[in-house]
Amino acid sequence: MNTKERLRGAAILLLSIFIASQGFAQDEVFQKRRIFMEQENDDAVKALVKAVKEKNFAEVQLEATGIMTNMENLLELFPKGSLSEKSRAKAEIWEKWDEFTKQTEAVKKAAQALANAAKAKDEDGVNTQMKALGNGCTSCHRSFRGPRKSS
């Protein structure tokens, strides 16, 4: 095997390793995002719904604050093009990045307003802001999340 063939083989090997690592990196991002959305956010929303029903304003404030923090960290879980066969994320996230970031900011603002209403022990305000938070989440999911993948 001559030097040219060795270099070509090495280049192909390096390219293969790079491509494989990108696939692993995409899967890792997807897994982090899935855990974040399905566990952290879903758990927070479930706790929030329960706290609102129980009129536990301290818990509402705590969970709403947690959702605000989650929204601050959400965008880093969507690096450009981090699609996966398993992911429900739509390509529109990156095509309409400004809109996507506005949606996350709207959810964050709704969570802040909910936390403020809970702090004031304003039951009507909590109910109104809870609906606003739900609408913000639903709007984003309708725009940027695809249907469940069949197993």
pLDDT along the chain (151 residues), means of 10: 59 45 57 80 89 97 92 88 81 94 94 97 97 92 85 56
Residue 127 lies in a domain: yes
Read off the tokens for 112: 């802040």
Residue 151: its pLDDT value, please? Answer: 56
Residue 61: its pLDDT value, please? Answer: 96
CATH number, domain of 104, equals 1.20.120.10
Residue 150 lies in a domain: no
User: Which range marks the domain in which residue 112 is found?
Assistant: 3-144
Residue 151 lies in a domain: no
Whole-number Å distance between alpha carbons of 33 and 76: 9
Considering the entire predicted model, what is its pTM?
0.76
Residue 20: its pLDDT value, please? Answer: 39
Residue 131 lies in a domain: yes
Residue 106 lies in a domain: yes
Residue 13: its pLDDT value, please? Answer: 45
Whole-number Å distance between alpha carbons of 143 and 134: 14
Residue 149 lies in a domain: no
| H helices, E strands: number in the chain | 6, 0
| Number of domains comprising the chain | 1
